[in-house]
Amino acid sequence: MLIKAIIVIAMLVVVFSLFRSLFFLSTEKDSKKTVNNLQWRIGLSIILFILIIVGIYTGVIEPHGLPTVKPE
């Protein structure tokens, strides 16, 4: 359950970082803050991807496929 909570928090932080960089892009003349926030977002997205893989590998998260439809 802990890994699921960490994944949700990481997703929220990624979205927050994305909107924060959008704010800096629209208001600031200097793009250094925008680039820094986008770097944080990319790093957090990689960590989120790794957490999802670890969760699937350990069995905490159970992936499911698309439902199968039987042809008539």
Per residue in 37-67, pLDDT (tens digit) is 888 889 989 999 998 898 889 888 888 877 7
Q: How far is the C-alpha of 52 from the C-alpha of 6, rounded, in Å?
A: 10
Residue pointed to by tokens 């989120």: 48
The structural domains of the chain, with segments of one domain joined by +, span 2-58
pLDDT at position 46? 93
Instruction: Label residue 31 by pLDDT band (50, 70, 90).
Output: confident
Q: Could you tell me which of 2, 6, 22, 14 has the C-alpha nearest to residue 46?
A: 14
Q: Is the pTM of this model over 0.75?
A: no
C-alpha torsion 11→12→18→22, nearest 10: 160
In angstroms and rounded to an integer, the radius of gyration of the C-alpha atoms of the chain is 17
- Average pLDDT for residues 24-36, to the nearest whole number? 82
Arithmetic mean of pLDDT over the chain: 86
